[in-house]
Structure 1
Amino acid sequence: MTSTSSRDREYAVVGGGIIGAAVARQLTLSHPDAHVTLFEKESELSGHQTGHNSGVVHQGLYYTPGSLKATLCRRGVQLISSFCRDRGVAYEECGKVLVARDAVEEQRLEGIYEKAVANGVPDVRLVDRAELADIEPGAAGVRALHSPHTAIIDFPGVTRALAADVVAAGGDVRLSTGVRRLEERGDGVDVRFEDGTAERFRFVVVCAGLQSDRIARASGQDAWPAIVPFFGQYVLVDRAHEHATRGLVYPVPDPAYPFLGVHVTRRIDGGLMVGPNAFLSFSREGYHGLGLNVPDTLGTALNPGFWRFALKNLPTAFQQLGGVLSAQEFIAGAAELVPDLADARGHRATRGIRAQAMWRDGSLVEDFVIQHGAHATYVRNAPSPGATSSMAIAEHIVEQATVQHGLGA
């Protein structure tokens, strides 16, 4: 155990995804005299949500103005784009269109445009069919919202660069080190590891993603919100159709369904990807095959909020089932947005699993949720645009913690 004087300068972060790495780096920037340790249970960083998403840097089109998602997304874009330029991490502003196919979707599109303007999204505009054809010739629709600065990125590459800064500042990155729970004491917090050992720190931030609720509950925090995992399947389009779009082509979200819907995304490596759908996952970390994990499945089954949610969304779930079972049916859905994909072939990529937080009444948590204990802070909900917002979330957490926990005093 470290001495008292040394322990006063010892901070830890649990979770080696992009948010955890960003928080660890921000702690070294804001408190250069502190020693920061980043713990990750896997043998490499960004092994879960960070490394299994669509790789899109969002601009803040959909989020309620004034919410944490809206404000931290906009700030996050500024920070992460600058960071990528400085570090040579792959980043490309390929642009994005949200395509309306009928009058109902046109009306929804106008509401999204109003939010985007209120959130300060730069150069966003509504375009008619002719302008859409100039911007994205492969897309089919009657009207669209164009966000020219939406970008694609190498999120794992960003995570590695953030962690490298932690090490360069004298901190540690400890892989293959799973954390079971925190035990808060009068003068700090004990981090209890999966192997039964423990270490004392003055302050800890938990950025555990898919396991965030479990670590929080085991540490004596609120049971809610609780994570219900949803997998998103991606399909890589054959090389002959990789140039079916210039940028990103998205549908207009249906407010009756809580997720975005299948879209067409360019990848930073040059490929074209369709997805994701959203379907209940039987595992929090099962990326292949059925992915059945009995404890994870039982955890969802015993969650009363899940059943309330499921009863409201069964019809939409059945609509998604075809794409889950058939990659070609999945691509056929995307062809409604980009007709040139109608005869495309594709193969499944590794799926992503979204750590969707849910309240006890079955409602999905709409905004980022960050909770504070006596000597620890818990990130309880940070799905998309969490990766985009990661460096801004880190700023926000460290600014709050510096005041609430007296860091640096």
Structure 2
Amino acid sequence: MTAERIGIIGGGIVGIALARELARRGMGDVTVFEKERRLAEHQTGRNSGVVHAGLYYRPGSLKAELCAAGRVAIREFCEEKRLPYREIGKLVVAVDESELPALAEIERRSVANGVPGLARIDDVARLREIEPHVAGVAAVHSPHTAVVDYVEITEAMAQDVRAAGGDIRLGQEVVGLDLETGRVRLRTEISEQVFDRVIACAGLQSDVVARMAGADPSPKILPFRGEYWELAPDRTHLVNGMIYPVPDPRFPFLGVHFTRGVYDDVHVGPNAVPALAREGYRWLAVSPRDTWASLTWPGAGALARQHWRMGVDEISASLIKSRYLRKARRFVPELRGSDLVAKTAAGVRAQAWGRDGSLLDDFAVDQVGPVTLLRNAPSPAATSSIAIARYLVDHHVAGRATAGG
């Protein structure tokens, strides 16, 4: 029997995890297409490296389910491959009593999601035992929240894919998908191949690929740039692990926070600034096409009316260091302007939004004939990557193969 030919679009951690899962199960001949010259170039390689424990996500959602399973899978993979995995712990801190109701909701969700070792802390002295320089009145502590190097993990997964006979093609951007009877003709700028099925894990370009497949234009990707400052090496003692704010439930971003990385650097951020290009990692990176597409999207007006104040605040903090510092000093008052020494490489979050201006809160998958489209996979997608891969195989590959067989 001829093996099924499966094409995967996207060489971030989710696409490579998917290729590895398919290869491990012997489910076909797998080819990955990545438009960049290396893997993990975009969201995977431009985040804080946190392995999330599942504190924030709505119980019962795909995010909650796959984050919990993904955290365990990433830890086991790092142990197997002898890659760094450091459980440094996270404090979600209420700086004053007005934030206590929202903190209680985080605690409720964490308990429902089975976050391991979670503890509520109402004693300031106990807060200071965990993070001696933190300011706040209460917190929830997740001691098993960890940090890793997601680029290293992606490369290790890619080695498994190649060892199992999979093909990873770098520098090949997919420019067209033609759905034929029971198969897909995939075109890049330099080649053309026919597959029995195609699975797109295209991140910032996911809606572009969806249009190629003839899917509904909604949800569309709205890019948000996140900018980080790094703490001066002689000031990294201000942070032991991670210090996070209580997030605003109206907005799918966590706010400026502190993270000690897997290699002991400490960064502050990110913020969330609307990007002027899908891959706009700098203010000067502007795509008129991407910007116009966002401004003319039906949901643009509703989104602007709902979040314009937060948008102005985030943009001003991006442009004025003292405003960024003010946000950070709410949690670490000893922080000085000279402690923020450099803006490190920014990331861009691929946030999906609908025609009504709503920002999608959960992972989202569409199916168009033999094409599977991962439409929304922002954080915690890296944490969840192995679990997302298993979910896609179980629900969109194995199930369809059984139905078709």
Q: TM-score, normalised by structure 2?
A: 0.96
The residue aligned with 1:167 is 162
Cα deviations by residue, 1:43-99 (Å, 9 ceiling, x for unpaired): 000000001111111011011111000000000001011001111222110000000
Separation in 2 of the partners of 1:149 and 1:226?
34
CA RMSD between the two structures:
1.5
Residues 24, 38 of structure 1: 8 Å contact kept: yes
1:243 aligns with 2:237: yes
1:80 aligns with 2:52: no
Residues 229, 340 of structure 2: 8 Å contact kept: no
Q: Letter of the aligned partner of 2:174 in structure 1?
A: V
The residue aligned with 2:399 is 403
Matches within 5 A, 1:194-273: 194-195=189-190, 197-273=191-267
| Consecutive aligned runs of 4 or more in structure 1 exceeding 4 Å deviation | none
Q: Equivalent residue of 2:172, what SS?
A: coil
Separation in 1 of the partners of 2:306 and 2:404?
48
Q: Equivalent residue of 1:333, what SS?
A: helix
Separation in 2 of the partners of 1:383 and 1:309?
18
Separation in 1 of the partners of 2:355 and 2:86?
40
Cα deviations by residue, 1:306-356 (Å, 9 ceiling, x for unpaired): 221011111111211222103343233211101222352321111100000
Residues 41, 175 of structure 1: 8 Å contact kept: yes
Q: Letter of the aligned partner of 1:18 in structure 2?
A: I
Distance 1:241 1:399, change over 3 A: same
Unaligned runs of 5+ in 1: none
Separation in 2 of the partners of 1:113 and 1:54?
23
Residues 180, 193 of structure 1: 8 Å contact kept: yes
Q: Equivalent residue of 1:313, what SS?
A: helix
Q: Equivalent residue of 1:149, what SS?
A: coil
1:318 aligns with 2:318: no
Residues 227, 272 of structure 2: 8 Å contact kept: yes
Q: Equivalent residue of 1:183, what SS?
A: strand
Q: Letter of the aligned partner of 1:402 in structure 2?
A: A
Separation in 2 of the partners of 1:289 and 1:315?
20
Separation in 2 of the partners of 1:332 and 1:158?
35
Separation in 2 of the partners of 1:21 and 1:334?
35
Q: Equivalent residue of 1:388, what SS?
A: helix
The residue aligned with 2:289 is 295
Residues 91, 243 of structure 2: 8 Å contact kept: yes
1:375 aligns with 2:364: no
Q: Letter of the aligned partner of 2:315 in structure 1?
A: L
Which deviates further from its counterpart, 51-60 or 290-299?
290-299
Residues 274, 334 of structure 1: 8 Å contact kept: yes
The correspondence for 2:301, drawn from 307, 310, 314, is 307
The correspondence for 1:394, drawn from 386, 389, 396, is 389
The correspondence for 2:274, drawn from 280, 294, 301, is 280
Matches within 5 A, 1:146-165: 146-165=141-160
Deviation at 1:405, TM superposition (A): 3.8
The residue aligned with 1:27 is 22
Residues 213, 371 of structure 2: 8 Å contact kept: no
Distance 1:364 1:375, change over 3 A: same
The residue aligned with 2:125 is 130
Matched residues, number: 402
The residue aligned with 2:184 is 189
Deviation at 1:407, TM superposition (A): 8.8
Distance 1:106 1:342, change over 3 A: farther
Q: Equivalent residue of 1:229, what SS?
A: strand
Cα deviations by residue, 1:140-187 (Å, 9 ceiling, x for unpaired): 100000000001110011111111110000111110000023222213
Deviation at 1:238, TM superposition (A): 1.1
Deviation at 1:9, TM superposition (A): 2.1
Separation in 2 of the partners of 1:224 and 1:345?
39
Q: Letter of the aligned partner of 1:306 in structure 2?
A: A
Which deviates further from its counterpart, 135-144 or 288-297?
288-297
Which deviates further from its counterpart, 179-188 or 56-65?
179-188
Q: Equivalent residue of 1:387, what SS?
A: helix
Residues 100, 251 of structure 1: 8 Å contact kept: yes
Residues 243, 272 of structure 1: 8 Å contact kept: no
Separation in 2 of the partners of 1:286 and 1:271?
24
Which deviates further from its counterpart, 145-154 or 101-110?
101-110
1:179 aligns with 2:177: no
Q: Letter of the aligned partner of 2:240 in structure 1?
A: R
Separation in 1 of the partners of 2:402 and 2:371?
12
Q: Equivalent residue of 1:304, what SS?
A: coil
Deviation at 1:106, TM superposition (A): 1.2
Separation in 1 of the partners of 2:340 and 2:107?
34
The correspondence for 1:337, drawn from 331, 345, 357, is 331
Deviation at 1:373, TM superposition (A): 2.0
Unaligned runs of 5+ in 2: none
Which deviates further from its counterpart, 338-347 or 210-219?
338-347
Q: Letter of the aligned partner of 1:181 in structure 2?
A: G
Cα deviations by residue, 1:213-233 (Å, 9 ceiling, x for unpaired): 011012101111100101011
Separation in 2 of the partners of 1:143 and 1:158?
35
Q: Equivalent residue of 2:20, what SS?
A: helix
Matched-pair identity in %: 44
The residue aligned with 2:89 is 95
Q: Equivalent residue of 1:270, what SS?
A: coil
Q: Letter of the aligned partner of 1:364 in structure 2?
A: L
The residue aligned with 2:40 is 46
Separation in 1 of the partners of 2:172 and 2:16?
15
Q: Equivalent residue of 2:279, what SS?
A: coil
Deviation at 1:42, TM superposition (A): 0.2
